[in-house]
Amino acid sequence: MSLPHAILIALTEKSGSGLDLARRFGKSIGYFWPATHQQIYRDLARLEAAGLIASEAQPGARGGKRLYRVLPAGLAELRRWVPLGEDGPPLRDALMVRLRGEAALGPTGLAATLHDRIAEHERKLAEYRAIKARDFGGAPSSRADALRGLILDGGIRNEAGWIELLREALRILESDETGPEVLRRPLKPGA
Amino acid sequence: MSLPHAILIALTEKSGSGLDLARRFGKSIGYFWPATHQQIYRDLARLEAAGLIASEAQPGARGGKRLYRVLPAGLAELRRWVPLGEDGPPLRDALMVRLRGEAALGPTGLAATLHDRIAEHERKLAEYRAIKARDFGGAPSSRADALRGLILDGGIRNEAGWIELLREALRILESDETGPEVLRRPLKPGA
DNA sequence: CATAACATGTAATGAGTTACATGATTAA
DNA sequence: TTAATCATGTAACTCATTACATGTTATG
């Protein structure tokens, strides 16, 4: 239930339209709280109905574009919500289920999937590192910059951790596949 | 949509009743694919309707206890599913949203929440390490053990990574709170 | 004017969460 | 026989996802 508050924070940082927000979610807050434009429009309507934000139509723009901004009541709600405690989100990753399945069933050909997943994490890692180098290169100039840099570090460490773990998984699978069990599975065409 | 397959894997490892599974989910597969007993009963019924598992009532047991076991079709479905690829799950953590809110709004009193969250991760870390020491103490005796130990390592590294990150966040917040902005907020009673 | 791109929104589906409900067995 | 516990199951709600739908402005 954090999406309305994530939207409030994004609007606090900079006013914008629904699609503006959807695009910004794609490359900032969306890294740790993803949302589609449908969710964002729905919650923008709710936030406006609750009196936390206000909007006005933009006459010169195409589509029925509306500019949303945070009202004082919205800032007050944010100040109330930000320090609240809650449990951490449960870890839920199907790849761990698959690895456990591999453990239970024996070789099933999971290595190719692991390679793909490692590549995905490497791509994200490179993306985050590029942002870090571009926007947080030197010493943080403010408390807010230090916090935002830290959040980005969280993403970087997360990706790096997965890469490390999945490479170890590959070592287990591949040492096995080149070992005594090599004949249990057909060879892949490209290998 | 991995829960039915997680159930199949759990039943492959050992047959059991719905509540057996719910309990085992609480301390094994549930660490990376949590599920409540309601979800498990629902999917057990679906899996049985699909012909992947079978059950028989246990006359001597209390309640309408049923023992579920995997059918050959269920094993075949697992062999099909395990190596399938998919995107990694999106990272979605409200605490990162709160940290970003703290960055946008200034001090809001998030430190206490961070302490709680760090304690939660430390508790899980100790729990996972105890399991590791108990069940995976020496060199892995089999491929399956190596994989299961690796999955557990994933949980351990994840918790340790969060602890490290959140401690850095605390340093940023607390160095700030004892610095020039100390007078902006009331002191906490216990501090 | 036809088309593409922009901007907002609706509908259907499925999963997860929480609270509650039902039936059977053991134990006081 | 009453209460507690075990075991299974229903119901209502919210959220996320996907596909689709509507209207507007710029471009050729």
Q: What angle do CA A136, A167, A173 make, to 5 degrees?
A: 165
Chain A interface, mutation test: which of B147, B153, B166, B168, most A Cβ atoms within 10 Å? B147
* List of B residues 45-74 with CB within 7 A of strand C: 60-64
Residue B97 CB in 7 A reach of strand D:
no
Query: In Å, how far are A33, A48, A58, B108 from A91, measured between CA atoms?
Result: 15, 33, 42, 27
Q: Is the distance from CB of B56 to CB of B48 less than 8 angstroms?
A: no
pLDDT one-digit tens code per residue, A150-170: 999 999 999 999 999 999 999
Q: Is the distance from CB of A75 to CB of A68 less than 8 angstroms?
A: no
Rounded to a whole number, what is the distance in angstroms from the first to the last CA of chain B?
Answer: 46
Confidence of residue A187 (pLDDT cuts 50, 70, 90): very low
pLDDT one-digit tens code per residue, B50-93: 999 999 988 777 778 999 999 999 999 999 999 999 999 999 99
Domain regions of chain A by residue span: 3-81, 94-184
Q: Is the distance from CB of B67 to CB of A41 less than 8 angstroms?
A: no
Residue B62 CB in 7 A reach of strand D:
yes
DSSP state of B187: P
Task: Count Cβ–Cβ pairs < 8 Å, chain A vs chain B.
Answer: 204
In the CATH scheme, what is the code of domain A3-81?
1.10.10.10
Confidence of residue A54 (pLDDT cuts 50, 70, 90): very high
Q: Please state the pTM of the whole predicted model.
A: 0.89
CA nearest to A95, candidates B81, B119, B20: B81
B122 token code pair: 């430390």
Cross-chain Cβ contact B32/A112 below 8 Å:
no
